Amino acid sequence: CGRCHEKELKAYTQSVHGAAVKRHGKLEAAVCSDCHNAHQIASPEQDQVKLAITKNCGSCHEDEVKTYRSTYHGQVAQLGYAHTAKCADCHAPHNTLQVDNLNSKVHINNRVKTCKECHKGATASFVKFQPHGNTHDFERFPVMWVASKFMIVLLGVVFLLFWGHSLLWFKRESREPKHIITVTAGEKYVQRFSWKVRLAHLLLAIAIMVLALTGTTVLYADSFWAPTVMKLLGGPEVAAILHRIAATLFGVLFFGHVLGMLHKIYKSPKENKFNWFGPDSLVPGKRDWQDFIAMKNWFSGKGPRPAFDHWTYWEKFDYWAPFWGMFIIGTSGLMLWFAPFFGSFLPGWIFNVATIVHGEEAYLAIVFLFTVHFFNSHFRPDKFPLDIIMFTGSMPLEEFKYERADEYARLVEEGKLDEYLVDAPSDKMVRYSRVLGFTLVGAGLLILVLVLSGFVQNLLG
């Protein structure tokens, strides 16, 4: 090969591969044809060739390629995106040297310059990122190991508790006759959600589904479905843009809601001061614990079905969960989005931790939403197959009496029930709400199947 490619041969001869072959006679070390193939040689400038050469590195460096594929660089490369850091970009394509060699591109003294080829704002702190970090190696990567194990425990505890709750609820409610609501013509409905709340919920649902699909396609890049989904999304670049748009929408809705609630509390008239633990408050209180115990007793047949007020304890959990998720997923996502900025004052290994918690917490949120939340709202026997209240905003008065018996009694006693009574939604509204509801639930279940299959495939290796 060197008869024509003299420059490349000279660089190769100085490399760790060339030294192994020429000086030590180790014929198993990489030679030209191992990376470029023997006959069907194409330009290394072509995207497919760049990706193929990266894949070929794994023929010898199996562990290194495996850990590389657990990073964002490796994940998008697996999905066909060639314009990201690959083996040859960091280690040099021909003059590949040992990491401790002063001339190596990845020597500690040269890493900032190497990383700046893509990340213009890279700093000495930024390059402490571990491109081959391993969550199974406590001795070398203790922080990554701890972060990974913490998320595994968190996943296990959350799913054990809430899947158990759903299972007990399903078994108990299945043994009782389904409560059938008969709505007569002209019957009044009870207003539960304003159009602003319903619109925010719809936009939030869409944002979460876009985030889930675009994010987990990268997270499970080695799954059988990821390449196809990524093509449908328009490729990794388009998927990244969609992911960030959805994240921005989520953030605007979240912080807009928080500011709105703070404004409402601040403006609350003195004679009607906001009651932090009142029936209309989403702040958990003593009543929620009592409702939980009553629900547990009902599950086990030791008590009657509980009567609820405006909010149930599981609805409050659904409300507060995004605050935790926003903190964990949002903070880690911002770190990864603006890595050079955060890397200017945070150690690079923080991005390894951010990658772990961002993916694992997203997995937790997706599976929780599309199993537990869907069950609570749609799949329990009394609601199956769909509850459209979040789209119409109101529910039949008879259903309200059954679902929220304590709230109904309180409003009657206070003489405020009429303030919440509205006309029944139109047939057109109901029809559109069902179409929208089934579409969103169907999309969520499809994403759930993809995510679970990707998780299992990743788990099995």
Q: Which two tokens stand for residue 29?
A: 């070390």
Residues 325 and 397 in one domain: yes
Kindly tell me if the per-residue pLDDT of 390 is higher than 90.
Answer: yes
Determine how many CB atoms are found less than 10 A away from the CB of residue 186. Answer: 7
Domain range spanning residue 111? 6-118
How far apart, in whole angstroms, are the C-alpha atoms of residue 12 and residue 19? 8
Select from 373, 353, 355, 336 the least CA-distant residue to 448: 373
Select from 144, 149, 146, 153 the least CA-distant residue to 71: 144
How far apart, in whole angstroms, are the C-alpha atoms of residue 114 and residue 122? 9
What average pLDDT does the segment 375-390 reach?
95
**pLDDT, tens digit, for every residue of 81-113?**
999 999 999 999 899 999 999 999 999 999 999
Q: Which two tokens stand for residue 155?
A: 């996943």
Residues 105 and 178 in one domain: no
With respect to residue 64, please indicate whether it lies within any of the assigned structural domains. Answer: yes
With respect to residue 89, please indicate whether it lies within any of the assigned structural domains. Answer: yes
With respect to residue 129, please indicate whether it lies within any of the assigned structural domains. Answer: no
Each as own residue / partner, the long-range contacts of residues 147-151 (CB below 8 Å, 24 or more positions apart, any chain) are: 147/353, 147/356, 147/357, 148/356, 148/360, 151/356, 151/357, 151/360, 151/361, 151/364
Give the CA radius of gyration of the chain: 28
Contact yes or no for 184/376 (Cβ under 8 A): no
Contact yes or no for 212/447 (Cβ under 8 A): yes
Q: Which two tokens stand for residue 2?
A: 């060197």
Domains: count for the chain: 2
With respect to residue 13, please indicate whether it lies within any of the assigned structural domains. Answer: yes
Residues 431 and 303 in one domain: yes
With respect to residue 124, please indicate whether it lies within any of the assigned structural domains. Answer: no
Kindly tell me if the per-residue pLDDT of 185 is higher than 90.
Answer: no
What average pLDDT does the segment 202-227 reach?
97
Residues 112 and 147 in one domain: no
Residues 95 and 238 in one domain: no
Residues 247 and 341 in one domain: yes
Kindly tell me if the per-residue pLDDT of 36 is higher than 90.
Answer: no
Determine how many CB atoms are found less than 10 A away from the CB of residue 9. Answer: 16
What average pLDDT does the segment 354-377 reach?
97
Residues 226 and 323 in one domain: yes
Kindly tell me if the per-residue pLDDT of 5 is higher than 80.
Answer: yes
Contact yes or no for 318/376 (Cβ under 8 A): yes
**pLDDT, tens digit, for every residue of 280-325?**
899 999 999 999 999 999 999 999 999 999 999 999 999 999 899 8
Q: ∠ CA(124), CA(125), CA(126), 5° rounding?
A: 95
What average pLDDT does the segment 407-425 reach?
96
Confidence of residue 422 (pLDDT cuts 50, 70, 90): very high
Q: Which of 55, 84, 118 is the C-terminal boundary of a domain? A: 118
Contact yes or no for 85/2 (Cβ under 8 A): no
Select from 179, 225, 107 the least CA-distant residue to 387: 179
Give residue 112's identity as a one-letter amino acid code.
V
Select from 371, 361, 378 the least CA-distant residue to 162: 371
Q: Which of 118, 153, 186 is the C-terminal boundary of a domain? A: 118
How far apart, in whole angstroms, are the C-alpha atoms of residue 192 and residue 214? 33
Strand partners, 190: 395, 421
Residues 257 and 109 in one domain: no
Select from 233, 226, 220, 235 the least CA-distant residue to 70: 220
Q: In the chain, what is the greatest distance between 2 CA atoms, to the nearest angstrom?
A: 97
With respect to residue 51, please indicate whether it lies within any of the assigned structural domains. Answer: yes
How far apart, in whole angstroms, are the C-alpha atoms of residue 142 and residue 79? 29
With respect to residue 136, please indicate whether it lies within any of the assigned structural domains. Answer: no
Residues 46 and 171 in one domain: no
Map tokens 């639930």 to a residue. Answer: 441
Residues 107 and 190 in one domain: no
Q: Which of 84, 118, 152 is the C-terminal boundary of a domain? A: 118
Whole-model pTM: value is: 0.92
CATH number at residue 209: 1.20.950.20
Handedness of CA 376, 448, 234, 70 (dihedral sign): positive
Determine how many CB atoms are found less than 10 A away from the CB of residue 342. Answer: 19
With respect to residue 268, please indicate whether it lies within any of the assigned structural domains. Answer: yes
Residues 33 and 105 in one domain: yes
Whole-number pLDDT of residue 272: 66
Kindly tell me if the per-residue pLDDT of 220 is higher than 90.
Answer: yes
Q: Which two tokens stand for residue 92?
A: 């040099």
Residues 85 and 187 in one domain: no
